[in-house]
Structure 1
Amino acid sequence: MYVVASLKLNKNLERVIAEIEYSNIDRKNILALPLAKKVEQETEKSCQQKSFEILPITGTIIALLGMIYGFILEWGPILWGLIGLGLGVIIGGVIDVLRIKKIRVQKEGESLTEVFLLVHCSDKTQAQQVKTLIWKWSPTGVATFTKQAEDGSHDRD
């Protein structure tokens, strides 16, 4: 009889395995199989497109403010408009770099892979005990599988 569980790759997985081993199930009867995830490149392309939107917007706003206040200041509206444009592009670049770093940190947190935990149990009581242990640590799902060797049929719970 097998108990199959789906968990996220985090500390709970290690705790589940430790508790299962503590309940007198040999380590060779436990299999943790991580699933590979496809890396999405579309989100990075959208981040790069948004960076081209932020730079001209901040550059235009601060250049406009530089031109407006340039009538009052000494060097005139044209020079202050160009200075404002440069400052706006720099500020937009800083905002963009900080935003991209924040998105990457969020993606690293989300990129936890899913792990299938397969435990071979000798009887139904041991399987039930393993299921209750696993349910304590918030799995995505748990199932039992009984293989019957004689007729080739399978019993699922």
Structure 2
Amino acid sequence: MQLFSTFEHSAHIELAIATLEKKGISKEAIFVVPVDNQLENRKLFDTLHRSDGTSLIDVGVALGTALAVVGASIGFKLSWGPIYWGLIGAAGGFVIGLFIRLVTELIIKKKNRLSKGKHSEIIVIIDCAETDGDMVENILFSHFAIGVGKVI
């Protein structure tokens, strides 16, 4: 049986390995692999195959709608009429909203685009007998493993 577990890089990995060795798991049956996490910044614009759920046009559409209504209302008193001023308001509101959203994503939320949560930095693979599987799993979880998987 093989057990795969992921850990953050900390002293708990060494303690887990030492505990496993005390319980009878040999050094040759324990394999530790460091994992490289994503270092580049996440992409701002979505592609067809990947989306992060962040929309850049939502504020632009809302402001475009609001300014189109205001422009059309005021356009009854202006020389070009309500249709032109409604279109000008819609385009202006959309550009302003898009600019606001780009500024918030690029400057204010730049840190939030990085990967959130715990990062798996170490994978520990352990070969053991099926009878020792539950004991090894409990030891790994008691030493703060992020996750444990079994292959029988």
What TM-score results when the alignment is normalised by the length of structure 1? Answer: 0.47
The TM-score with structure 2 as length reference comes to: 0.48
